[in-house]
A = this chain, B = another copy of it.
Amino acid sequence: MTPVNPVDDTTVDIAALLERGRTLSTPVLRAAVDRLAPPMDTVAAYHFGWIDAQGRPADGDGGKAVRPALALLSAEAAGASPETGVPGAVAVELVHNFSLLHDDLMDGDEQRRHRDTVWKVHGPAQAILVGDALFALANEVLLELGTVEAGRAARRLTTASRKLIDGQAQDISFEHRERVTVEECLEMEGNKTGALLACAVSIGAVLGGADDRTADTLEAYGHHLGLAFQAVDDLLGIWGDPDATGKQTWSDLRQRKKSLPVVAALAAGGTASERLGELLSADAKSNDFDSFSEEEFATRAALIEEAGGREWTAREARRQHAVAIEALDGVDMPPQVRAQLTALADFVVVRKR
């Protein structure tokens, strides 16, 4: 996709920003996970990439860690120390990973972060159970702070979690429907991705004593950032490099996902759009969809592109990115923090994984 226009944030070191989030939050996250009763602690450690399937220490890919970085910046946006945001960063990561564990099982995904998913290695029951445990732990990590701010943070996290679950419910229901509108798809993605990213951007500030208006404005940035993030994810889900994403080729097409490029292409009209619609309708009824060749998926991807679904989605990512950055004007924060939040937004739309 067309790279976004860099703003005045050329000096921000994104790798260092993500690394700071990881460095400050991972020890607290590991300590929380260590509280789980066996064998859930081991299963969770495998999921996070801290050990391999045989239980040996590993230095696996724990994900991009965008959310922890955002939670620490969130605290700084409210004038608090980055450390103030750590319990929020950990709680959001726990909710994010709870949803990954359950979603991978529900969606039948066999690979995540270049490794077999938990249900594949440890079985469905452990995937359910450990997901539940991480979800409970998220609230525990916040509520045991025992402060009024922690109660407010937990409330926001709970609301975000509910939206996340609503989004997954919508996503699953879309797979069984022939047609989904672009609006429905955006609503689903706002729930499934926007809500928790929004929470990551407000939770540190709330823990740092920010008022509801400030928190809401930060959430607006996070919500649009989430929509930009998901639009890019939808592009990577079809055209991403499997070596970079850790997923199969044509991953979202294999799962019949009604992602943005697909719904936009179907809504576009014209020859390619109609041909795509016919193919996908036939696919939904096909008994040998699972044995489709690479070429068959490539044909569908080419039709999506020809109908304009790829370009529409790339434009949508840029549009949401711009709205997110604009929202930052509503909060009075240190210029350095604003530059870092802007740079993170830029990173989200240009990433390859």
Contacts and interface: CB of A to CB of B under 8 A. Distances in A.
B161 A154 contact: no
B158 A143 contact: yes
Interface in A128-147: 128-129, 131-133, 135-137, 139-140, 143-144, 146
Given A128-B106, A169-B39, A155 B161 contact: no
A117 interface: no
Contacts of A158: 136, 139-140, 143
This chain: how many copies in the complex?
Answer: 2
Given A140-B159, A169-B39, A106 B129 contact: yes
B132 A37 contact: no
A183 to B, nearest CB: 15
Nearest to A125: B106
Contacts of A125: 106, 172
A105 B133 contact: no
Nearest to A140: B158
A276 to B, nearest CB: 26
A193 to B, nearest CB: 16
A251 interface: no
Nearest to A157: B139
- Range, interface on chain A: 35 or more
Interface string A255-269: 000000000000000
B154 A128 contact: no
Interface string A150-166: 11001100110110011
A336 interface: no
A151 B162 contact: no
B155 A146 contact: yes
Given A146-B155, A154-B151, A102 B132 contact: yes
A23 interface: no
A40 interface: yes
Nearest to A144: B155
A57 to B, nearest CB: 23
A165 B216 CA distance: 33
23 contacts: A36-B166, A37-B170, A39-B173, A40-B165, A102-B129, A102-B132, A106-B124, A106-B128, A106-B129, A131-B132, A132-B132, A135-B135, A135-B136, A136-B158, A136-B161, A139-B154, A140-B155, A140-B159, A140-B162, A143-B158, A146-B151, A150-B151, A151-B151
